[in-house]
Amino acid sequence: MRSRYSAFAVGDADYLLRTWHSSTRPPGLDLDPGQRWLRLDVLGSTGGGLFDSEGTVEFVAYLRQSGVRDSLHENSRFVREDGHWVYLDALA
């Protein structure tokens, strides 16, 4: 989760796509260079251990866009694909 947040912060779309599950990965990403990511707070997690095949991470990411502060609160689902943890989707 933290590495994906960092990728958003530096605009690394290639990394984000590589760490996105093949069944939900978009064909491409158009990141907004006007977004400035400020902070990530991880609120909790489930699973994700050495012998787990899935897990969740609840977080709040803070950003500034066009001079306005905003936040994104999500509970993300991650699974192992080819031995690597990848982002699957957001839980409703």
What are 27-56's pLDDT values in tens digits? 999 999 999 999 999 999 999 999 999 999
CA distances from 47 to 25, 80, 92 (A): 22, 11, 18
Question: What secondary structure letter does DSSP report for 69?
Answer: E
Q: What's the pTM? A: 0.92
22 SS3 class: coil
In 3D space, the residue among 19, 73, 83 whose CA is nearest the CA of residue 53 turns out to be: 83
Domains parsed from the chain with CATH numbers: 2-90 (3.10.450.50)
Residue type, 13: A
How wide is the angle at C-alpha 32 spanned by C-alphas 45 and 6, nearest 5°?
Answer: 35
